[in-house]
Amino acid sequence: MTYPVTDFSADPLYAIIVAGGSGSRMKSDVPKQFLILNGKPILQHTIERFLAASSAMSIVLVLPERDRQTWATLCEEYGFYPASVRVVNGGATRFQSVRNGLSAILADNETGGGLVAVHDGVRPFVSPEIIRNSFVVASQMGSAVTCVPAKDSVRLVGDDGQSQAVDRSRVRLVQTPQTFRLDLFRQAFQVDEQPFFTDCASVVEYAGFAVTLIDGAYENIKITTPEDMLWAATFDSAG
Ligand SMILES: Nc1ccn([C@@H]2O[C@H](COP(=O)(O)OP(=O)(O)OP(=O)(O)O)[C@@H](O)[C@H]2O)c(=O)n1
Ligand SMILES: C[C@](O)(CO)[C@H](O)COP(=O)(O)O
């Protein structure tokens, strides 16, 4: 893997890779971010995609406190020692994990300027091009939230259990990276956590900022349940 020098932004570039979850839906012995996918941990695949996007990127990796040793052991086993990756402890929810990552960035950021991408550690197939594009758009618009159009038909289920068809051409399925201007993101994450925060876009929107959508990719899946591992292994060996 080469780490090309790219110069697409004068701003400091940060990435918060959230891997602080327990992976309950995967039902594996270790949290899914540590599972081995075609010869290396899922999290290593993901981090390498970010290192490939820019050699100027500072990465904050958020891990469950109890699993920091698991990751250190895996890094030794797979000879993975990226210099620009700092590890911080996760929180009880994704929102709290992102906030911990953000605090680590802000502690060292003297100017308050820069751009920050937040990405799920369990989306190992994100392309460096999508990462780079998210930074370019966020620098222009304040935010860049990756998404894809719905492929299936979509129905909305009401409280009475009845469902209604929705015009799927208006539906977008949201992925990560979700990239923001750091000043905006810092302000957004001062809100109190809400139960409907499922991603950073919902936080930023709640704080009153506009959300700009950018094109993601269908292969940029979030590894969530056991069948996702089967797909991922096939996709990775085909690519
Ligand atoms: N407290 C949490 C919860 C989630 N995440 C991260 O957010 C991403 C997306 O979350 P999800 O797929 O739901 O992961 P888990 O919470 O680990 O899985 P589950 O919901 O099945 O328990 C993952 O990379 C996960 O590690 C995190 O950093 N901190
Ligand atoms: C951030 C996210 O991956 C965008 O699709 C998603 O919302 C995470 O949700 P989860 O409930 O943590 O799986």
Q: Report how far apart, in Å, the C-alpha atoms of 191 and of each of 175, 181, 184, 211 are.
A: 22, 17, 12, 17
Domains and CATH numbers, the chain: 13-238 (3.90.550.10)
- Per-residue confidence (pLDDT) for residue 237, from 0 to 100: 74
Candidate of 18, 26, 46, 176 to mutate for ligand 2, largest count of ligand atoms within 8 Å of Cβ: 176
> CA-to-CA distance for 131 and 178, rounded, in angstroms?
9
Which among 168, 169, 188 has a CA at the least distance from the CA of 178?
A: 188
Q: What is the pLDDT of residue 230?
A: 95
Instruction: Report the pLDDT value the prediction gives residue 111, as an integer from 0 to 100.
Output: 83
Ligand nearest to the CA of 200: 2
Please tell me if the CB atom of residue 136 comes closer than 6 angstroms to any atom of ligand 2: no
Q: Contact at 8 Å (CB) between 120 and 42?
A: no
Q: Is there an atom of ligand 2 within 6 Å of 225 CB?
A: no
Q: Which pLDDT band, with edges at 50, 70 and 90, does 109 fall under?
A: confident
Residues 64, 38 contacting (CB under 8 angstroms): no
pLDDT of residue 1: 43
The predicted model scores a pTM of 0.96
Q: Indicate if the pLDDT at residue 3 is higher than 60.
A: no
pLDDT at 142 over 60: yes
Closest C-alpha to ligand 2, atom 9: 198
* Pocket flag, ligand 1, residue 123 (CB < 6 Å): no
pLDDT band at 62 (very low <50, low <70, confident <90, very high): very high
The whole-number pLDDT of residue 7 equals 54
CA of 190 to the centre of ligand 2 (A): 20
* Residue 2 scores a pLDDT above 50: no
Q: Per-residue pLDDT tens for 6-22?
A: 556 678 999 999 999 99
CA of 223 from ligand 2 middle (Å) equals 10
Q: Is residue 134 within 8 Å of 146, Cβ to Cβ?
A: yes
Q: Ligand 2 in contact with 120 (CB < 6 A)?
A: yes
Is the pLDDT score of 71 beyond 90? yes
The pLDDT value recorded for residue 4 is: 47
Average model confidence (pLDDT) across the chain: 94
State if residue 198 touches ligand 2 by the CB under 6 angstroms criterion. yes
User: Which ligand has an atom closest to residue 177 CA?
Assistant: 2
pLDDT class of 239 with cuts at 50, 70, 90: low
Mean pLDDT of 126-137: 97
CB atoms near residue 36 (< 10 Å): 15
> Residue 189: which pLDDT band, with cuts at 50, 70 and 90?
very high
- Residue-level pLDDT at 110: 79
What is the 200 CA–ligand 1 centroid distance (Å)?
13
Q: Which atom of ligand 1 is nearest to the CA of 222?
A: 12
The response to whether residue 21 sits with its C-beta less than 6 Å from ligand 1 reads yes
Å from CA of 219 to ligand 1 middle: 19
Q: In what order do the strands lie in the sheet with 57-63?
A: 85-89, 57-63, 13-18, 115-120, 172-181, 143-149, 213-215
181 pocket-lining for ligand 1 (C-beta < 6 Å):
no
Q: State mean pLDDT over 144-156.
A: 98
| Burial class of residue 185 (count of CB atoms within 10 Å of its CB; 0-12, 13-18, 19+) | buried
pLDDT digit string (tens) for 194-236? 999 999 999 999 999 999 999 999 999 999 999 999 999 998 7
Q: Which atom of ligand 1 is nearest to the CA of 224?
A: 12
- Check residue 177 and give its pLDDT: 98
Q: Are 23 and 31 in contact (CB under 8 A)?
A: yes
Distance (angstroms) between ligand 1 centre and the Cα of 192 equals: 19
- What b/e string do you get for 197-211 counting C-beta neighbours within 10 Å, with b at 16 or more? bebbbbbbbeeebeb
